[in-house]
Amino acid sequence: MEKRHIITVLVLHKPSVLQRISGLFARRWFNISSITVGITENPDIARMTIVVKGDDTHLEQVLKQLNKLVEVVKVKDLKHNNYVERELCIVKIHAPTESGKSQITQYANIFRGSIVDLSAETITVEITGDESKINAFLDLVRPLGIKEVARTGLTALMRGSKILKSNKK
């Protein structure tokens, strides 16, 4: 049975590591829903957050393969942990009238979004949150006319004092 999995991977911050990891998922026929990468508190280590859908058996094989890669420092499937997840979405919405602009501004306020650009014909809104919040906002403004959407993909950290830490300094 396919499930959504959020995997956090600490890797060496070097060229081609992303390619090796995404290639590993591709060889195992896992479609990556989103992948984010960024540097950590240690400049030699990067954190990847990978969202995939698949069954537990196949995912376990992928996690074992990930752990074998030299560039991988730590791997954690967040399914057994409480975690905080966020995604950034920037959406440009058709708004040629003042009433349309007013309506979009109200929606942005309700969803705690920010107006980041305004033109005679469009409003661009930045919104952060979990996937369902962003999808709900997009569903709300879709009838007004979405011109363009950019989403970062999900990133996540475990809640509380639990950390995924490398032993490398």
| Nearest to 37, CA basis, from 20, 54, 53 | 20
Tell me: pLDDT of 112 over 60.
Answer: yes
| 30 and 43 belong to one structural domain | yes
pLDDT for 114: 98
SS3 148: strand
| 67 and 94 belong to one structural domain | no
Of the candidates 32, 48, 80, which is a domain's last residue?
Answer: 80
Tell me: pLDDT of 79 over 60.
Answer: yes
H helices of 42-154, where?
A: 56-68, 98-110, 131-145
Count the domains in the chain.
2
In angstroms, the Cα distances linking 112 to 2, 16, 109 are 32, 37, 5
Please answer whether residues 38 and 77 qualify as being in contact, where contact means their C-beta atoms are separated by less than 8 angstroms.
Answer: no
Q: What residue numbers bound the domain in which 50 lies?
A: 3-80
Tell me: pLDDT of 19 over 90.
Answer: yes
